[in-house]
């Protein structure tokens, strides 16, 4: 489990295809502090550490992704130099600063607008229609692994969308600073919203 509080932004150093996709990601953490088999959220995708090391003074860890992960997330488009939000798995006793995030991406959204709003930035994100029912004003959503509060929801020409406000700190310490209209982002809906919707569906089926 994760909180959606990004710890650092890593960089994709190498990508190779060999059955699955193998990614070597540069980070700031010393290799000895990253356990093989540990889970790390990479732009919101829960991936397992296969190997760690250092090359030319740059610490790195390696993960793999299946074909299913590539088709359900933005990972299939990542190229060398890609900036990646990183969060290690939550440990017992860690502060719960964001919201409960599983690292299981529900779909891919598209940034349709970015505009300054005071010292912050307002970002509008279009989402697939099947995810729209799970996103509500003041609810939580993870965007590329970042825990955010939904400001508003709407229907636009591109379909359902929602808006989030990105404070200067979040803008500075995540990959969103490099985003632009048209950028694709991983979306994970709130677990509570998922279960409430499922309960509503079951109740409706029983009544029918």
Q: Is residue 45 part of a domain?
A: yes
Indicate whether 190 belongs to any domain.
Answer: yes
Express each pLDDT in 9-18 by its tens digit. Answer: 999 999 999 8
* Structural domain of 183: 107-199
Look at residue 94 and tell me if it is in a domain: no
- Position 81 pLDDT exceeds 80: yes
pLDDT tens per residue across span 151-199: 999 987 778 999 999 999 999 999 999 999 999 999 999 988 777 776 7
pLDDT reported for residue 46: 98
> pLDDT by residue (tens digit) across 120-162?
999 999 999 999 989 999 999 999 999 999 999 998 777 899 9
Q: Are 147 and 140 a contacting pair, CB within 8 Å?
A: yes
> Are 18 and 52 within one domain?
yes
Domain membership of residue 137 (yes or no) is yes
The answer to whether residues 50 and 64 touch, using CB atoms and an 8 Å cutoff, is yes
CB 195 within 8 A of CB 165: no
The per-residue pLDDT for 208 is 67
Q: For residue 45, what pLDDT is reported?
A: 98
Look at residue 206 and tell me if it is in a domain. Answer: no
Last residue of a domain, one of 31, 57, 88: 88
Q: How confident is the prediction for the chain on average, in pLDDT?
A: 92
User: β-strands 83-88, 8-18: how paired?
Assistant: antiparallel
Asked whether residue 111 falls in the same domain as residue 81, the answer is no
CATH number at residue 169: 2.40.30.20
Closest listed residue to residue 12, CA positions, set 60, 69, 70, 47:
60
Give the angle subtended at the CA of 96 by the CAs of 83 and 171, to the nearest 5°. Answer: 35
């Amino acid at each position: 489990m994760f909180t959606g509080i990004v710890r650092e932004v890593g960089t994709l150093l190498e990508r190779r295809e060999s059955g699955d996709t193998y990614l070597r990601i540069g980070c700031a953490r010393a290799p000895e502090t990253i356990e093989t088999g540990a889970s790390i959220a990479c732009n919101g995708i829960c991936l397992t550490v296969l190997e760690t090391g250092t090359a030319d003074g740059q610490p790195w860890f390696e993960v793999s992704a299946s074909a299913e992960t590539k088709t359900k997330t933005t990972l299939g488009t990542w190229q060398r130099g890609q900036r990646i939000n990183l969060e290690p798995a939550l440990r017992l006793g860690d502060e719960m600063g964001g919201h409960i995030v599983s690292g299981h991406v529900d779909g891919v959204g598209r940034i349709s607008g970015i505009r300054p709003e005071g010292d912050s930035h307002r970002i509008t994100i279009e989402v697939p229609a099947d995810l729209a029912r799970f996103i509500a004003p003041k609810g939580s959503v993870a965007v590329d692994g970042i825990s955010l509060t939904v400001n508003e929801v709407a229907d636009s020409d591109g379909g359902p969308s929602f808006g989030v406000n990105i404070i200067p700190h979040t803008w500075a310490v995540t990959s969103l600073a490099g985003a632009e209209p048209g950028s694709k982002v991983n979306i994970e809906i709130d677990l509570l919203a998922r279960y409430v919707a499922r309960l509503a569906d079951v109740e409706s089926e029983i009544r029918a």
